[in-house]
Amino acid sequence: MGELQGKKFILGITGGIAAYKSAELLRLLVKAGAEVQVVLTEAGARFVTAVTYQALSGRPVWTDLWDPRADDNMAHIELGRDADAILVAPATADFIGRVAQGLAGDLLSTLCLAREAPLLLAPAMNRQMWENPATRRNIASVTADGIAILGPAAGDQACGEVGMGRMLEAEDLYEALVGFVRPKPLAGRRVLMTAGPTFEAIDPVRGITNLSSGKMGYALARALVHAGANVALVSGPVVLPVPAGVDRIPVRSAQEMHAAVMARVAGADVFIGVAAVADYRPRESQDHKLKKSGDVLHLELVPNPDILAEVAARPQPPFCVGFAAESRDLDRYAMGKLEAKRLRMVVGNLVQVGLGSDDNEVVIYDGAGRHPVPRDDKHRVAEAIVAHLAAALAAP
């Protein structure tokens, strides 16, 4: 199931070249299960036409305040009635000015004035327009009215200049919207977590590692940010984008991960160990590449620190959550870890299901027993874990 299943948005599109990004944003929203009604201004329709948005949203686009399709001729009231949010992207300088003034000369601006749903604007304009004192005043006044401004970003502009005013990319707007509609049960909570594998060097080009894509940990970090938490993610080597709003601390070995965690653990409300930490490392790593010979090579391994167990054993430990990826006997091993490491919660999965894949199926173990989370996309599973964590933190 998509992570925006059941959510309804109005996507307003005004006359800017960034409208091509809105087509992509629309596709992402629809793919995630959201219902999106596109409302286009006349100027907006000159850049990308209604045909594109209709095909992508699977529903007719609205432009006209006098559209006879609205039963009672109240499209400006009807359309926004049960929307979770109205996002105008791109929002031109002119449109923002009209919203600031409370003007309602066309369907989209009337809809914004008559709204009950929260309004978000993604400005898109040339650098001088963005910096103009009139625009600055309009932005200040819509912000004071409780309207959220997403972006803009700096960079190349369609007019050939470089500067502030580019509309955010479709993926950034998508992330902002998901974050916006999520409840915030973890607001003000500080979460420290680990994710990914560790790499224990044998020599400059070889090492011991665990198979771990980092996908579950990164999905969890993203869901934690969406729930309002302040997230520091100590991450082993992975090839994943850093979720928006996450403070990532890159490390390589278990010892580096251990040091990074210990340096930040004081003051954390929650610690979550998702990383697949290598249990052993070579006693010494060679400065130069080992050369091949016909002989048997002996590698002496020494144990790595158990980061999670050490955090949980602190005098005043944060709420500690462990992960257990097992190839069999999941209940027994996960429950064993809950007790042995003195954790508050363990999230267990069978490696046959979760490893490297975009889906996962987990069981949450805590003092009250086992709570299965059905197989789903890792982002949805992460949301379920965050909901369970938030409930546990709120319990007396």
Report, as residue numbers or ranges, the catalytic residues. Answer: 159
Cβ neighbours for 84, distance < 8 A, ≥ 6 positions apart: 7, 8, 9, 117, 181
Q: Which of residues 249-268 bind ligand C5P (CB under 6 A)?
A: 254
CA distance 35 to 29: 8
222 binds ligand C5P (CB under 6 A): no
Q: Is 275 in the site for ligand C5P (CB under 6 A)?
A: yes
Sites for ligand C5P among residues 180-209 (CB under 6 A)? 194
**Would you tell me how many other CB atoms lie within 10 Å of the CB of residue 145?**
11
Give yes or no for residue 135 binding ligand C5P (CB under 6 A): no
- Is residue 218 within the footprint of ligand C5P (CB under 6 A)? no
CB of 64 to ligand C5P, least distance (A): 56
Dihedral angle over CA of 290, 294, 296, 302, nearest 10: 0
Examine residue 324 and tell whether it contacts ligand C5P (CB under 6 A): yes
Q: Does 318 bind ligand C5P (CB under 6 A)?
A: no
Position 337 contacts ligand C5P (CB under 6 A): yes
Candidate list 24, 247, 269, 306; residue touching ligand C5P; CB under 6 A: 306
d(CA 48, CA 37): 16
Residue 304 binding ligand C5P, by CB under 6 A: yes
Query: Among residues 308, 320, 330, 345, which is the contact residue for ligand C5P, using CB under 6 A?
Result: 308
Quote helix, strand, coil % in the chain, to nearest 5: 35, 25, 40
The answer for 260, left when phi > 0, alpha when psi is -120 to 50, beta otherwise, is: alpha
Let me know: does 167 contact 93? Beta carbons within 8 Å.
Answer: no
Single out the segment in contact with ligand C5P by CB under 6 A; choices: 12-20, 94-102, 134-142, 316-324. 316-324
Nearer of residues 138 and 304 to ligand C5P, judged by Cβ: 304
DSSP annotation of 46 = G
Q: Which residues bind ligand C5P (CB under 6 A)?
A: 194, 254, 273-275, 277, 279, 304, 306-308, 322-324, 337
